[in-house]
A and B are shown apart, each in its own frame.
Chain A
């Protein structure tokens, strides 16, 4: 099993550009999450999904959109990138809310 994978690993954007980050998991998990990690602030939840076709806002959702069209995939979109969105983005999944979360390797995004 590959576990949780993220594409791409690195990306540089200019302010105002858009992009989509892809997260895929092969563990048949119902729950998927997108976090961002910034120095000195820990990981913060952006959006999450409790199942195919559902999404919910996390702690810092502004400027991001998500979609969960297939159970194994969770997409994070930036419609108009801003320098404040420079961060490392992590995807995670779990069988249930109360269960252990498994993380992907991360995507390092720089917005100039």
Chain B
């Protein structure tokens, strides 16, 4: 059974820092991995989607990497800003289902 883990559960950093969020999964037979952002009381916003054949995807200050063999993905946020404060979720597609991690709650303070 696929399990997705995100560590740390919470992270607090000063503005301007580059930071890395981690996501690990137990079964390397995946179709793709998706990173989401969730603001308090809101829905999920898709940030990046990495297909199983890809190694990384970039969007602005965000870069996500995927290492299927080791069951890991990282989300790199460059030059963090207070507006980046949110919960970041990763989700792995195995067969017909998207399996979610429990998220990393990020706070960026001025």
Q: Give chain A's interface residues, CB within 8 Å of chain B.
A: 4, 33, 40-45, 48, 56, 58-59, 90, 92, 97-106
Contacts and interface: CB of A to CB of B under 8 A. Distances in A.
Interface string B22-48: 000000000110101000011111100
B68 to A, nearest CB: 15
| Main DSSP-derived SS at the B contact region | strand
Contacts of B49: 99-100
10 contacts: A42-B102, A45-B98, A56-B96, A90-B43, A98-B31, A98-B93, A100-B46, A100-B49, A103-B44, A103-B45
Interface string B5-24: 00000000000000000000
A98 B41 CA distance: 27
A42 B89 contact: yes
Interface of B: 4, 31-32, 34, 36, 41-46, 49, 51, 89, 91, 93, 96-98, 100-103
A103 B43 contact: yes
Contact of B43 (A33, A45, A59, A104): A104
Given A58-B97, A98-B32, A40 B102 contact: yes
B35 to A, nearest CB: 11
Contacts, number: 50
Contact of B96 (A43, A90, A97, A103): A97
Contacts of A102: 46
Contacts of B44: 43, 90, 92, 103
Nearest to A6: B43
B4 A59 contact: no
Given A42-B4, A97-B31, A100-B34, 17 more contacts: A33-B98, A41-B102, A43-B100, A45-B98, A56-B96, A90-B43, A90-B44, A92-B44, A97-B96, A98-B51, A99-B49, A100-B46, A103-B43, A103-B44, A103-B45, A103-B46, A104-B43
A41 B98 CA distance: 14
A40 B22 CA distance: 17
